[in-house]
Amino acid sequence: SFSDSARWNRFIMESIFALFFLCVTGTHVSCSPGPLEDVVIDRYDIPRVCPREVQTGDFVRYHYNGTFTDGKKFDSSHERGAPFSGQVGLGRLITGLDRGVQGMCVNERRKVTVPPHLAYGSIGAGDVIPADTVLVFDVVLLDIWNTEDKVQTRTLSKPESCKRLAEATDFIRYHYNGTLLNGVPFDSSHSRNGTYDTYVGMGYLIKGMDEGLIGMCVGETRTIIIPPFLAYEEKGYGTVIPSQATLVFEVFMIDLFNPKDDIAVVVKEVPKTCTRKTVVGDYIRYHYNGTFQDGSGFDTSYQRNSTYNTYIGMGYVIQGMDKALQGLCIGEKRRVILPPHMAYGEKGTGDIIPGSAVLVFDIHVIDFHNPKDLIEIKVTSKPKKCNLTSEVDDLIQYRYNCSLMDGTLLYSSDHYEKAPITTLGANKVIEGLDEGLRGMCVGEKRVVIVPPHLGHGENGAKGVPSSAVLHFELELLDLQKGVPDGYMFVWLGDSPDPLFPAMDLNKDLSVPLEEFTAFINIQVVEGTGRLRPGMDADGIIKDMFNNQDRNRDGKIVAEELKLKVEEDSDKARHEEL
């Protein structure tokens, strides 16, 4: 009946469709029991990841080997060394291949068997392909793109903080690996051990790369896929990039800046008290860590265990650092970002800093001073009664702590059994300390800041760094008034006149050592004379006696006293003692 016939025809059509579906989807079945009605597809190698399949209107690039069913080869793009490129589904390929490559993934391999009526039909193709011949194409898809495609970007990794994005006119430094869409590499900055450095958005790059780099952070890694018409188009590039090739770049952004950038400063830590800030002409000592924007280090003063010492604003350091070091407090910590035009420029320096590198410095100010600085004195404690103060030639005993300005203790009198004793003005201690100990009362405490030119200078001393500003905590423990350099005894008022009768206590016209000693001690007790402090009094008095006992007979007589005539006066005065 008609209904039975219809069901039979429907069964036949469904069977043919099922067979065609199995062939197209790559299921291994026997697909040639008779004359072929459509292409037969064997998808014998399918990539695990297939983000895109060929559709009508797409452009493709593929390699192929063309054979007859007996395996005889009639054509091969491999042998020509040039893959086939064309558009799918618009009649520019033989119909069988147009159908055979649809649904393919990049790097997929498939065998496409094309019946004659979907190939070269009853005419054939010259002497190469006879009429009514079944053709077998072994195809590997290399590339796929469409005129509607846009640049594709995918972020692979990104730093947690991203304070700045790449914009047009920025200058950037980045590493990249470049491959074709099928994964074949064509170039890599890593292999050259040097970044690619360029302006972005200004036409120095292929259009797709210019677009793909916009919006990247330093430290970000992203994949950029560029269709051929935004890359090297039909011309390709030499022997490494074929015509109409989609390009894939994996980019890692090293740093970026703009030629209009100034230095950027981030204050990390400021001391509670800051009585003074650095200015041009100051000499500064600071520690630093130097890194690039991606965090990799290039230098550190900490590793050398030595500060960096320099004048500020006088051209001894790179321009950006000269500027960044101004306005700092002792103890301040800050991060400074220097664009290349304020650092080492396009050339960089040696093998350490590449050309056009943005530099990041983390700075810790240890101290600074000006070559014109005097000592600074701050009295922290002073007795209510202060009738006697220290001055040049005085013998003093004092307690001290000496530190760097960051608080590092260098040395202390507490480390010794006895506090030091010195004569002021006798070059026994550094100049700044000597000056800082003057004008003090016994029991007074003060803080004295000594600049290096009044301290240990550029050379430093044992345990004291070069050009270090010193912080002294002082306390005066004892004070003995002194005598001028070169003298053992001085009168505190007018000396007796005449002198010898005053010395001759028993009035026998001679003064032995015992009588001379008694006379001098009387002057000291009554406050009319002073012996040099810090020395044995009996020894000093004996030396004084011997100086006057000219004939060494153990006594002084009036004629032995020395008289000195002033060159600028007719008067004579006694300097015997």
Cα torsion through 323, 326, 331, 332, rounded to 10? -60
Element (H, E) at 299: strand 297-300
For 366: left if phi > 0, alpha if psi spans -120 to 50, otherwise beta; the answer is alpha
Q: Which residue has the tokens 């991203």?
A: 162
Q: Which residue has the tokens 């079945």?
A: 29
503 vs 517: CA distance, rounded Å = 10
Longest dimension (CA), the chain: 178
- Is-contact 533 482, C-beta < 8 A? yes
Residue 457: how many other CB atoms lie within 10 Å: 16
Residue 78: how many other CB atoms lie within 10 Å: 12
Q: Which of 75, 187, 294, 299 is catalytic?
A: 187
Is 232 designated active site?
yes
337 vs 486: CA distance, rounded Å = 60
CA distances (Å), origin 574, targets 155, 189, 500, 512, 514: 98, 93, 10, 19, 21
Q: Which of 94, 206, 318, 540 is catalytic?
A: 206
Is 556 designated active site?
no
Tokens of 150: 């846009």
Residue 208, CA atoms < 13 Å, CB-side half-sphere:
21
Q: Which residue has the tokens 């000396």?
A: 495
Q: Which of 59, 64, 176, 283 is catalytic?
A: 176
Q: Which residue has the tokens 């188009």?
A: 233
User: Dihedrals φ, ψ of 86, to 5°?
Assistant: -175, 175
86-118 CB burial, b ≥16 within 10 A, e <16:
bbbbeeebbbbbbbbbbbbbbbbbbbbbbbbeb
Of 317, 314, 315, 286, nearest in space to 300 by CA: 286
Is 68 designated active site?
no
Cβ neighbors of 193 (< 8 A, separation 6 or more) are none
Residue type (1 letter), 116:
P
Beta bridge partners of 113: 40, 136
Is 62 designated active site?
no
Q: Which of 186, 199, 237, 487 is catalytic?
A: 186
User: Dihedrals φ, ψ of 150, to 5°?
Assistant: -125, 170
Q: Which of 62, 120, 174, 232 is catalytic?
A: 232
Report CA torsion sign: 440, 444, 449, 450: positive
Residue 425, classified by CB atoms within 10 Å of its CB into exposed (0-12), middle (13-18) or buried (19+), is middle
Report CA torsion sign: 120, 123, 128, 133: positive
299 vs 352: CA distance, rounded Å = 8
Is 41 designated active site?
no
Is 171 designated active site?
no
199-230 CB burial, b ≥16 within 10 A, e <16:
bbbeeebbebbbbbbbebbbbbbbebbbbbbb
CA distances (Å), origin 281, targets 178, 367, 370, 371, 372: 51, 14, 7, 8, 10
Catalytic residue numbers read 176, 186-187, 206, 232, 249
